[in-house]
Chains A and B, each alone.
Chain A
Amino acid sequence: MEETNKPVRELSRLARLSLTPQEEEELAGRLEEMVGYLHALSQVEHGAEVEAPSAVPFRPDQVEPSLDGDKLLNQAPQVRDGYVVTPRSVGEGGAE
């Protein structure tokens, strides 16, 4: 099980979650199960007809109160003057 637990440990470190060995074990099992679901896709015949999607209602363009600022910022490891602080990032982001 040691090898299958490795991705779980990696992910939990990135997500800043501390997992007990039992939780690690359980999540590894679930992850494997999910990968199994994907195998179902390989059973689908190539070019198979897909059911036409039905229209789904959209959301009206109305503003609702946002999350309370403190509640949001409490989740961040470091905050300054209302901003979330991260280590200096190199390169650029932005919608591309």
Chain B
Amino acid sequence: MNWEIVMGLETHVELSTESKIFCSCSTAFGGAPNSQCCPVCMGLPGALPVLNQKVVEYGVKVGLALGCSITPVSRFDRKNYFYPDLPKGYQISQLYAPLCRNGRVEVAGTTIGIHEIHMEEDAGKLYHDPATGETLCDFNRCGVPLLEIVTEPDFRTSEQVVAYLKKLRDSLQYLGVSDGKMEEGSLRCDVNLSVRPVGSDTLGTRTEMKNLGSFQAIARAIQFESQRQISLLERGERVVQETRRFDEEKGETFSMRSKEEARDYRYFPEPDLPPVVLSREYVEGIRENLPELGEAKRRRYAQQYQLPEYDCQMVTSHPALARFFEELLALGTPPKQGTNWIMGEVLGALSERSLSPGQMPMTPKTLARLIALVGEGKLNRNTAVKVFEAVFDTDGDVDEYVAAHGLEQVQDVELVERIVVQVLEENPQSVADYRGGKEKAFGFLVGQTMRKLQGKADPQTVRRLLLERLGQE
């Protein structure tokens, strides 16, 4: 029998606000344990939460970018569970009237429905000490704002899942609402998966997979879990509805808890927070100011600048790179040269230094000047790369560096010609070899000429003059 995989995703996004969702404690990562807590996020008696306006704004931005309708009056609810990472004993979330509903995203040729997006608070972090058998609690993360984005069960392949998550991360970064870093936990994804015979339109029993820390882990977990379910059904057994955890090392999922043990969260409306009432003007104001997202930029670059798809993909892979590229263009850099430098030298230099594009030390102005010097024939490409390496970290002055190191390309064609003649005279064997059909000898002659000119000549000119001379006799 042929089987079809049906999946839906629940993605938690940590928002990059300065302060927490319901109190003024810092959201900064890496503080000393329990140094960013207050009566509100610790749930001390009598403390009252007040909603951070930035969380609503970010939520509406994401909702609009994912094609959702924004709920004019949304509400918060309490989700009760007893666990040491949650000092209040409940998480403030949205169940009955979430902020956004009914969105849709085009991914890898298919439409993925967005069921809802809601705002909620994160829980604290626990460390289990195997030596003492104790649990250590750090509550700094309590109250850090999250968006939970819930899709419809519209995914059929792991490729679609990964493409959706990449697109989501891209949108979050372009909107400036989250760094979207999966490895740091600011993008966390649970996959609900079931299988059914191809052609069937009833859903099979699903399992929920947690602890998926990378795109690769997600693809592997989907592969394993769908096979596990298909094998069960083919043996005439049944799939149990349960939560499963993916073990990255073993590449397997294992049961965490079944539906029978599922928690009853006893949801009820949060009495300490008023409803979130959003006017049409507020929502439209945000819609009008939405930035151009990665996908739109890619399309525009390809069309407007006739750039290859690969180039468009690379320079829009991070909003900081796209900004850098657009500033280069504004400074007069030809688009294709801009993408070549970004894809080659810039990304290379960043990766050598383990920097993200957002931490780029060099300004577009410096690179634009360097590219212009090459365009004007004042620097050759090889020398320009050396200058790039020298000024990248300090954003140094390109003209000063070139002048100080005497790197300016020899413009004097007569001088180049004299050197070419000299090199030919000094290397009669190579000349003979070349004429005898040895292509390699030509490269040697170019190298000798460049060396005498201290690498400052335009290699094209050198080649042309050499060929002219060699063809004469």
Contact = CB atoms under 8 A, between A and B. Distances in A.
Interface string B80-120: 01011110000101000000000000000000000000001
Contacts of A82: 32-35, 138
A62 B19 contact: yes
Given A67-B37, A72-B37, A91 B25 contact: no
A94 B17 CA distance: 20
A93 interface: yes
Interface in B1-57: 12, 17-19, 24-26, 32-39, 42, 44, 50-56
A84 B136 contact: yes
Residue among B32, B34, B36, B52 with the most chain A CB within 10 A? B34
A46 interface: no
B418 interface: no
Residue among A60, A75, A80, A95 with the most chain B CB within 10 A? A95
B363 interface: no
B266 interface: no
A59 B12 CA distance: 23
A16 interface: no
Interface in A24-44: none
B277 interface: yes
A12 B375 CA distance: 80
Contacts of B18: 61-63
B33 A56 contact: no
Interface string A53-79: 111101111111011010011010000
Given A63-B26, A85-B134, A95-B91, A58 B56 contact: yes
B122 interface: yes
Contacts of A21: none
B73 interface: yes
A89 B39 CA distance: 24
B177 to A, nearest CB: 12
A93 B19 contact: no
B139 A66 contact: no
B274 A61 contact: no
B279 A85 contact: no
A84 B136 CA distance: 6
A88 B398 CA distance: 60
Contacts of B136: 80-81, 83-85
Interface in B120-158: 120-123, 126-128, 133-139, 146, 148
Given A58-B56, A82-B33, A83-B127, A67 B38 contact: yes
A67 B39 contact: yes
A91 B257 contact: yes
B50 A88 contact: no
Given A62-B18, A83-B137, A88-B128, A95 B122 contact: yes
Given A72-B37, A85-B135, A59 B123 contact: no
> Looking at chain A's contact residues, is the secondary structure mostly helix, strand, loop, or mixed?
loop
A86 interface: yes
A82 B34 CA distance: 7
Given A93-B81, A93-B126, A95-B123, A84 B139 contact: yes
A93 B24 contact: no
A58 B274 contact: no
Contacts of A52: 73
A63 B128 CA distance: 30
B275 interface: yes
Nearest to B257: A91
A92 interface: yes
B52 A61 contact: yes
Nearest to A59: B50
B73 A93 contact: no
A89 B135 contact: yes
Interface in B362-384: none
Given A59-B51, A60-B53, A64-B24, A93 B34 contact: no
B91 A88 contact: no
Contact of B85 (A54, A58, A83, A93): A93
B467 interface: no
B270 to A, nearest CB: 13
Contacts of A92: 83, 256
A94 B123 contact: yes
Q: Give 4 closest A-B pairs by Cβ, nearest first.
A: A58-B53, A93-B83, A64-B24, A83-B136
Given A83-B137, A89-B135, 19 more contacts: A53-B274, A56-B277, A61-B53, A66-B25, A66-B26, A66-B35, A66-B38, A69-B34, A72-B42, A73-B34, A80-B136, A81-B33, A82-B138, A84-B137, A86-B84, A87-B133, A95-B12, A95-B91, A95-B122
7 contacts: A54-B277, A59-B50, A61-B54, A66-B37, A83-B137, A84-B34, A85-B134
